[in-house]
Amino acid sequence: MIRHLLTADGLDGETVNTVLGTADTLKQTLLGREVRKLPTLRGRTVITMFYENSTRTRVSFEVAGKWMSADVINVSASGSSTGKGESLRDTALTLSAAGADCVILRHGASGAPHRLAEWLDHTGTRVVNAGDGMHEHPTQALLDAATLRERLGELSGRRVGIVGDLLHSRVARSNVHLLRTLGAEVVLIAPPTLVPDGIESWGATVTHELDPQLPGLDAVMALRVQAERMNGGFFPTAREYSIGYGLNAARTAKLPEHAVVLHPGPMLRGMEIAPRVADSPSAAVEQQVRNGVHVRMAVLYHLLAGEESTA
């Protein structure tokens, strides 16, 4: 098993299937229970370090840890010594020295979790990437895969479209790697200004037209337009973007009957997804969040439950 979870890129099919299988078993185990608490990670300490805002990722990691009886401590950049000028490395070493068995990091800089894993390598503290800049968000890709499997069955041979702000999206990159590992075909759809350099190496089809793709898709994922990472000029107006790439009722009507609509959240209703689509039965947004807890439980289980010496 893996020591850290830093990327979806390079995760082999066996590891992915094991984690998804564990997540599914955990979901069934806890289904309908009055007391959602397992003793599995009793005595383990998990620290979340979020240098960027987050609702669902931070909360679901915290819930996942707590349902498995780990002690979960949340550190945010604003309330910590980062504000006094402490480096990421020193903060991480401090958390590790204070007893963290696992550090879950969200950071605005792509690659920050990799550096953290290197710095903490001698300590035995595990690192989970909860989103780093415009790079990767592996647990999001895992929970998306879990959701798609629940809706569609095996993903091998399925065709998944990812629409929107590919340039700034760590979700898209992680999903492309993971979906391809599971045998699915990925189509990336975005205006030319929001397509990153080097996208040819991702192994997915890239197009600028959404409508012709719709009838052939088993699932479509709308990405959030990341205004906080944009300094203008990517598209003329929000309305224009929405007309070209927003998922509205007219568009989803062109999808096959069984097709699933995903959104990693937070949703900008009326921008990349219409309210009617977001609340329709084909949308799996809440299911994604629910699965997020179980997938993160599975990740923590595989990183933390077994014997300490596995390197």
Q: DSSP assignment of 103-150, as one string?
A: EEEEESSTTHHHHHHHHTGGGT-EEEEEEETTTB-HHHHHHHHHHHHH
Task: Indicate the residue among 278 and 297 with the shorter CB distance to other proteins.
Answer: 297
User: Is 151 assigned to a binding site?
Assistant: no
Least gap, CB of 43 to other proteins (angstroms): 9
Q: Which of 1, 97, 98, 243 binds other proteins (CB under 8 A)?
A: 1
Please select the residue that binds other proteins; options are 40, 76, 80, 282, rule is CB under 8 A. Answer: 40
d(CA 256, CA 246): 18
CB crowding 217-249: b at 16 or more within 10 Å, else e = bbbbbbbbbbeeeeeeebbeeeeebbebbbbee
Least Å from the CB of residue 307 to other proteins: 6
Q: Is 140 annotated as contributing to ligand binding?
A: yes
Task: List the interface residues with other proteins, window 50-69 (CB under 8 A).
Answer: 68
- Which residue in 16, 26, 46, 220 binds other proteins (CB under 8 A)? 26
Is 33 part of any known ligand binding site? no
Chosen residue from 3, 37, 89, 276 binding other proteins by CB under 8 A: 37
Q: In the complex with other proteins, which residue's Cβ is closer, 56 or 302?
A: 302
Shortest Å distance, C-beta 29 to other proteins:
6
Among 3, 12, 25, 275, binds other proteins (CB under 8 A): 25
Segment lying near other proteins (by CB under 8 A), choices 35-43, 108-116, 143-151, 187-195: 35-43
Does the footprint of other proteins cover residue 311 (CB under 8 A)? no
Cα–Cα distance for residue pair 172/160, rounded to 1 Å: 11
Q: Considering beta carbons, is residue 18 or 74 the nearer one to other proteins?
A: 18
Q: Which of 4, 16, 22, 64 binds other proteins (CB under 8 A)?
A: 22
* 266 assigned ligand-binding residue: yes
123 near 275, Cβ under 8 Å? Answer: no
* Residues at the interface with other proteins (CB under 8 A): 1, 18, 21-22, 25-26, 28-29, 33, 35, 37-40, 68, 301-302, 305-308, 310
- Feature table: binding site for L-aspartate: 84, 170, 224
- Feature table: binding site for carbamoyl phosphate: 56-57, 106, 137, 140, 265-266
